[in-house]
Amino acid sequence: MSPIEFSKRLQQLPPYLFAEIDKAKRAARAEGRDIIDLGVGDPDSETPKFIIDALKKAAADGKNHHYAFDAGMPELRKTISRWCQKRFNISLDSDTEVYPLIGSKEGLTHLPLGIINPGDRVLIPDPAYPAYRSSVIFAGGEVVALPLKEKNDYLPELSLLKNAKAVFLNYPNNPTSAILPKAYMKDLIAMAKKENMIVISDLAYSEVYYDDQKPASFLEIDGAKDCVIEFHSFSKTFYMTGWRIGWACGNPKLIAALAKVKTNIDSGIFQAIQVAGIEALNNGDQAAKDMRALYQDRRDAFVQGLRSIGWNVPAPKAAFYLWSPIPKKFNDSMQTAKTFLEKADIVATPGNGFGTYGEGYIRMTLTMEKSKLLEAVKRLKKIL
Ligand code: PMP
């Protein structure tokens, strides 16, 4: 038998740029070093008890043990629609404009299979969450970089929104923590409609914001539903990353495309998790508020600490990522991350792992206790 080879599609995927840091992190841990991991985008907190209780009860009920409906429980879809109405003041038909997902990543990455033909150009922000790019490659599309530059507050230049079938956008943004002003959203939708472009908006961090700067949904803009599909997540709002539940909403044709792909691939979300999701959305406002207070406290302490040792980092505007130009004494992102790990036992993510335009930046997460963040400041003081 000839050697087994990966498909051309798989071979086309970009190399995993964090592999080197991951390896060094594992080696440091194996040596017993006390690593402060500011690399992972996974909250350290536990899911609120009322959500776990709802899961326990639903898991014990035999009627939840079967294949779920692909389209999710009608009650979940209705609850999502009501939550969106309350949060964004938007109307969504729970039958045709809302679709539960096994986490937002699952939906974001399956959508291109339903709307992108081989050779179609798709605009992908650079830097960005890496899953968008892979999903376009899987669908045979052509990835076109949409630079996000610090001098533009990490907003894409509207003049670049052309000659593409679709654009991925993510505000609040990972990794830059940027937010999108409403006026800009309006211009962006006008441009997308003029150019016949589908807008794929990733709102996974919609509830992780500071100083009461509530992120908006594109669907708040008049007429946006003609071209927008939006992706939401329970993961960050309710510390539910491991549960795998999210949803898509927006244009019914785009929802139908995603639904058709998914029906051929998965068989829905474990129903007990859907029941817990309904509970989270109906009764989770206080939990989300507490989550924001926790990160705001950590953000303020970390930013203040780093500035006090002479590293003038920008304060995150939303999400839980501190994205900063690397300190002056370093040459590039990877060298910075390696030095942080080797000399200070701190894991940070080199910006170039998120795209070419991430070079010269470093990302650190706030998903660690405040005491650890302050300890990180102390350690960095010695090497900066
Ligand atoms: N979008 C962005 C920008 C993310 O950072 C993440 C997870 N880190 C996701 C989507 C995926 O979230 P989920 O757990 O809902 O799949």
176 in contact with ligand 1, CB cutoff 6 A = no
Nearest ligand 1 atom to alpha carbon 170: 3
Q: Cα(313) to centroid of ligand 1, in Å?
A: 24
Q: What is the mean pLDDT of residues 68-85?
A: 96
> What was the pLDDT predicted at 355?
96
pLDDT > 90? residue 149: yes
Nearest ligand 1 atom to alpha carbon 245: 15
Q: What is the mean pLDDT of residues 307-329?
A: 97
| 14 vs 280, more confident | 280
Q: What is the mean pLDDT of residues 118-132?
A: 97
Q: Cα(42) to centroid of ligand 1, in Å?
A: 9
Lowest mean pLDDT among 67-71, 160-164, 327-331, 354-358: 67-71
Q: Cα(378) to centroid of ligand 1, in Å?
A: 30
Residues 200-249: tens digit of each pLDDT:
999 999 999 999 899 999 999 999 999 999 999 999 999 999 999 999 99
156 in contact with ligand 1, CB cutoff 6 A = no
> What was the pLDDT predicted at 15?
78
- Over the chain, what is the mean pLDDT? 96
135 in contact with ligand 1, CB cutoff 6 A = no
272 in contact with ligand 1, CB cutoff 6 A = no
Q: Which of 203, 209, 266, 258 is nearest to 234 (CA)?
A: 203
> What was the pLDDT predicted at 191?
97
pLDDT > 80? residue 17: no
233 in contact with ligand 1, CB cutoff 6 A = yes
pLDDT > 90? residue 24: no
> What was the pLDDT predicted at 251?
98
The percentage of the chain sitting over the pLDDT mark of 90, rounded to a whole number, equals 95
> What was the pLDDT predicted at 16?
75
Nearest ligand 1 atom to alpha carbon 128: 3
Nearest ligand 1 atom to alpha carbon 241: 14
Confidence band for 49, pLDDT divided at 50, 70 and 90: very high
